[in-house]
Every structure is written in structure tokens, then in C-alpha cells.
Structure 1
Amino acid sequence: MDAKLFSGQSLKPSGTSLLVLLGLGVTLASLFLDWINGKLPILALSLTLPLWVSALSVAALGFWAVPFLQALKAGQFIREDGPQAHLKKAGTPTMGGVFVVPVGIAIALVWSGFSSEVIATSLLTLAYAGMGWLDDWQKIRGRSNKGLSPQMKLLLQIAFGILFCAWLFLNQPASITTIALPFGLAIPLGLLFWPLAVFVQVAESNATNLTDGVDGLAAGTGAIALLGLAALIAPTYPTLAIFCACMSGCYLGFVVHNRNKASVFMGDTGSMALGGALAGVGLASQSLWPLFILSGIFFVEAISVMAQVGYYKATKGPDGVGKRLLKMAPIHHHLELSGWTETQVVAVFYVVAALLAVLAFILK
């Protein structure tokens, strides 16, 4: 898209206006879902109440946690080859996921009555958050962008994925290995389901991690995707839907502090946990196809990186230098370097995420 389409000042939203619109949209959506499911917002199995308890808890906690992270000198180090406009963000506290993920999980566990499905999905989410924390901490301690090695990250992701699959194998019905598609279609995978399930967890956590590069982007689109997933599974998996609502709320609450201009970043702690939560619920609720639709933003972000790297390697000349398919990957950086402001990128991605959620709901 051409940046000229967004040239007017009225089409350059502020971070605060995007937060208000995101909060309003998520609230109206959750109220609508409670209405069609016959649940009043005050009832235990509603989505609106746990969503807003989580959102307000994280938003309030952030006013203490952000200064605490600043005092720890947990500042973000900005890659020099990134967009030059991002260099001024150097020193902004990162690792904000430490006060987001535990709050959402704690509220979800209590609200769901410590359902076994929620416990398992929470453990997976915490595992990815813990791995992300190790990565963030190494970057802070080493005062660089180098955290865990890619090999170590992949090894841990696969290990967590296998453990979660072991729980699925022991606790879920045999039908879990069949992927349900729209219009009554289905794909029976049998044993092939299990490597796919591990791949989904690895791919989802990496994709959400790559999306976390613009203020409010990953948290906002994650909140929308999680609520969309809650809408799909509420009738059949009510406790997992509550988990999704709580996690959606905690990421919404984080946007209060992460909106442009961000006072804190979620870091790998929050972004990898987001992918783990989505993948865990998608697998436990047998909703892989809807999850794929809901994760459209994250999928495109990941594909843009893969395409950039592949094209660069394929076009290497004798001098060892290749051509670039995009100005910079992931694609949100390409849009920035094409003239979009950060808030324009976030606004468009929020709209796309909402449309994908509606599409997934229609095709369920």
C-alpha cells in the first residue's frame, strides 16, 4: 500500500486513540459473545468480566512494574541496522512480559476452577515465557541484542512442545488427530498429527516474537486473536475460553503502557508466551484451522522474514552480497521504511486482525 493513502493528519492516529479503539472493540465483541451464548457479563462463565479484571490488573500493576524495570536498568538495546527512527527507543525497559503473563494465568486458573486443560495450557505458556525471560535477561546482562542461541531456543521450543503433546496424548480424545475444516470437511492425520502439533507450537511462538517490533503491535493483535479464539471455543471448551479471555485482557492492559510512545516493551518474555498460549489452546480445543486464520498477521510476519532471507541467499553474487525482497523484514519494518508511521502500521494490522477474527468465526 502507498503511504500517501495515510497522508492526512486525521489519518495518523495516536497511540492513545488506538488503545481506546482497541479497548472499545474488544469490549463490545466480548459483550456480544456473552449475549449470543446466553451469558451475562457478571456470570462466572462470561468472557467480559475476566477479560476486564485481567486488563485492569495488568494496567494498574504496570504503574509500579515499569519504574521497577527502569530501576533494574532492564533497557532494550536497538539493532543499529533497524529503522533509524527506532534508535531513540534505546533504554526503554523491556521484559514487560514478567508482569503480564503471570497475572493473566493466575486469574485464568482461579476463574476456571483450576481446570486440567487450563493448567496444562498455562504451564506451556509459562514455559515459553520462561524461555523468553532467559533470552531477555542474557541480552540485558550482555548489553547487546544477543540472547539465547537460535539452536538453544529451538531445542527448548521442541522440548516444551513434546511435553505438551504428551499431555494431549494422555488426556485428549482420539479425535484430536483429525483436523476439522469448514463445510464439514476433515483431514485425519493419525501419527502425523504429533510432529505437526510440535511444529505449530514452535512456529506460533516464533511468529508472535517476530511481530513484536512496533509499539502496541504484538500485544494488540494478540489480544484480538485470543478473544477470537475464545469466541470459537466458548460453547465446547468454556474453561479454555476463559483462559483466552484472561490472556486477551492482560495483553490489552499491557497496551496501556506499550502504546506509542511505549514506556515498556514486552520482550521475548511476553511475545513468546503469547504464541505458546495461542498454540496450546488451538491444540487442546482441536481448533488448528481457526487458529491458522486468526494467526494470519503472525503468519505473514514470519513468512516475510523467511522470504527475505531466502531471496537474499538465492541472489548472492560473486561478491557474496544478495538482493533484498523487502526494504527490511519483518514486513512491519518494510512498511515503516516505505513511509508509514508506527501508528499507521498498528492501526491497519489491528483492523486486519479483527477481520480475520470475524472470518474465523464465520467459518467455524
Structure 2
Amino acid sequence: MDAKFYPGKTLKLTGTILFLLLCLGLGSTALMSDWFTGRHAGQFASLTLPLVVCALMTGCIGYWAVPILRALKAGQVIREDGPQAHLKKAGTPTMGGIFFIPPAIAVAVSWSGFSPEVMAVSAMTLAYAAIGWLDDSKILWRKSNQGISPRTKLLLQWSVAALFCIWLASSQPAGMTTVSLPFGFLLPLGFLFWPLAWFVPVAESNATNLTDGVDGLAAGVGAIVLLGLGVLAYPAAPGLMVFAACLSGAFLGFLVHNRNPAQVFMGNTGSLALGGALAGVALLSNTLWALLIAGGIFFVETLSVIAQVGYYKATKGPDGKGKRLFKMAPFHHHLELSGWSETQVVGVFYTVTGILTLLCVAIH
């Protein structure tokens, strides 16, 4: 995916170029949103200021935290059955979520004036980060890809989602059970809303976890979707707008160190927290439809794993072996094994997510 620069020369798509383009895209989107809604970009209740502050803050913290993680030998254990090109990443510090998720949440909570909604979504985000931290810690301790058991992990995820739903039921109006759709349509779900609300955080956190397999992929896609949800949250929920902008900026700052070639990985600590934050903002701002569309990459990545496993089981022969629908799942690994470079995958996924997010804003 080389872009023509001038005749006879090409401009190689690098992690740094992708990062700069992402900064330009998110920054200009935040500025335009503030301008169209009459907010001053430098004022306290804006998208731009919290985005920039948290991006600079987490980017700077990373220069201190990454060497510490490296000194603690918190190196990633690479799965042997993954793309062989990834084996060279073994030993890269992981668990990076611990240095940018808590500071960004602290800023968001104080910036929003300790809004109950922001405190609730922050609590769920931190709870999912804690689950990821437990998983990462066990992986590092065992020096294998086996962390806490899938059953324990899911039980913890479902439990956190249930607590969030209990808070939601006790604090939100009855109209919360009506789900907004594009073009102003409403879908009254009644009691069925609660199973959906319980399912979304678990599904989204696992989806973001599956997407975190290529340098800069989950962090960049997450930053785009978070900012989009922040745009949609205003003016009904300005606190959620600030929270989304802070978290978007935090993931952007993390990309200073996570862009290709990555100096640190977010680990399950960061990827599960990302899913929790996205689900919480979408539920509280009634923009689940936007999360599904803008976060289409997360959906496709999850669907590819489900399809791969289902097809393998359905085609299993007498020898106990089945056929594979993709060369490897999630889908980004299939593209890698098909000859795409990591930066090609990331560049295309950023572009698709950006287009889908702008579409959500346009039809809102």
C-alpha cells in the first residue's frame, strides 16, 4: 500500500505516517465538531481540549512507564501458532494499559465535575482493565499464552456488566428501554433491553481484545470510535462527551509508543478496558447503533473468529480435523498471511473506521 509521491518515487506507509494522519484526522474532527456546535476549542467543555490534554499526558507518561515495564521483564509471550513474522515481537513490554487508562479516567472524572454517568462508565472501564490485568499477570507469570481460564474471565466480565446494569436500572428513566436508531427512529424494547445491555459490555470487550493483534490497530480504531461517540453524546450528555474525548486522547497518546514498530503493547489490561469504555458510553448516550456501525471493524474481527470455529467444527472429518474458512483468525491475521503488511492492515482499518464513524455523525 505505497502511495505515489512523485514520478519514479513512492512514499512508504509507515507506522509514524499513519499515526500523524490519525492525529490530523481526530484533531480536525474535534475542532470542526466544536466549531459547528458553537463550542470554543479551548474551552473546558469541548472535544478538542480534553483530547489534546490526554494525548499529551499519556504520550509523556509512556516515556517513563515503558522502560519500567521493560526493566520488570513484562515481555509479551507470542503465540507459536500465530503469524511467524510476529515471533520477533517476543519480549516487547505488555500490560501498557496500566499507564494510560487510570490517568485518563482520573482526568475525565474530574473534568466532568464528577458526573454520575462518567463515574459509572469509568468504574466499568477500570473493572474491565482489572480483569485484563489479572489475565496479563498470569500470562507473564506462566510465560505462556494461558492466563486466567476462559470461564473465569467470562464470569468476571458478566459480573461487571450485571453490576453496571443494576446501576443503570436504578438511576436512569424508564425511557432508557427505548433504543435510538438512525434518522430519529426509536425501537421500544421494554424488558428485552436489559439482556441486551448486559450482553453489550461483554461482547464489546471481547471484540476489542480480539482486534488487538497488530501494532497500533486496536488503539487507533478505538480512538476513532470513541471520538465519534463523543460527538454524538453532545448535547444530551456533555459529561460523556468529555469522557470519550479523554479516552480517545489517551489511546492516541499510547500510539506514540504502540505504533509500528511497537515499543509496548496495551495487553488485555488495555483492550478489555477499551471495550468497557465503548459499551458504557454507547449505553448511556443511547447510541448502540453507532457503536455497531462505527465499530464495524470490531464486529468483523469477532465474526471472523466465530465463523472460523464454526466452519472448522462443521467440516470435521473422521480424522478429527476440519477445514478453515480463513488462513487464520481474527481477520487481520488472514490479511497478513495473504501478503498484507501490518501497516497496510492498520491503514485500511483506520480508513474504514473513519468513514463509518463520519457516516454515523452525518445520519444522527
TM-score by length of 2: 0.97
Matched residue count = 360
Tell me which residue corresponds to 1:69: 69
Find out whether 1:207 has 2:207 as its counterpart: yes
For the pair 1:169 / 2:169, whether they are aligned, the reply is yes
Letter in 2 for 1:94: T
Equivalent residue for 1:98?
Answer: 98
2:272 aligns to what?
A: 272
- Structure 1: runs of 5 or more not aligned: none
| Structure 2 counterpart of 1:30 | 30
CA contact (8 A) 2:125 2:273 kept: yes
Q: Report how far residue 7 of structure 1 moved.
A: 9.4
Calculate the aligned-residue CA RMSD, in Å: 1.2
In the alignment, is the contact (CA less than 8 A) between 1:14 and 1:343 conserved in 2? yes
Deviation string 1:283-310 (CA, Å, 9 cap, x unpaired) is 1111111111121010000000000000
For residues 359 and 16 of structure 1, the distance between their equivalents in structure 2, rounded to whole angstroms, comes to 26
Query: Is structure 2 residue 362 aligned with structure 1 residue 362?
Result: yes
- The alignment partner of 1:100 has SS state of helix
Aligned residue identity for 1:224: I
Aligned mates of 1:169, 1:145 — CA distance in 2: 37
Q: Which amino acid aligns with 1:225?
A: V
Q: 1:115: Cα distance to partner?
A: 0.5
- 8 Å contact 2:3–2:13 — kept in the other structure? no
1:31-50 map, 5 Å: 31-50=31-50
Q: What residue is the counterpart of 1:55 in the other structure?
A: 55
Shift of 1:261: 0.5
Equivalent position SS for 1:76? coil
Deviation at 1:184, TM superposition (A): 3.1
**Offset from partner CA, 1:43-93 (integer Å, 9 cap, x none):** 110110111110000000000100000011100000011000000000000
Give 1:119's aligned residue.
Answer: 119
- Percent identity of equivalent pairs: 64
Listed as ranges, the matches of 1:1-364 within 5 Å are 10=10, 12-364=12-364
- Structure-1 separation of matches of 2:29 and 2:3: 30
Query: How far does residue 177 in structure 1 lie from its aligned partner after superposition?
Result: 0.6
Q: Secondary structure at the match of 2:187?
A: strand
How far is 1:6 from its partner?
5.5
What amino acid maps onto 1:121 in structure 2?
V
Contact 2:230 2:244 in 1 (8 A): yes
Which letter does structure 1 place at the counterpart of 2:241? A
Separation of aligned partners in 1, 2:259 and 2:48:
22
2:2–2:13 Cα contact (<8 Å) kept: no
CA contact (8 A) 1:75 1:91 kept: yes
1:101 is aligned with what amino acid?
I
Q: Is the 8 Å Cα contact of residues 282 and 288 (structure 2) preserved in structure 1?
A: yes
Inter-partner Cα distance in structure 2 for 1:326 and 1:21: 30
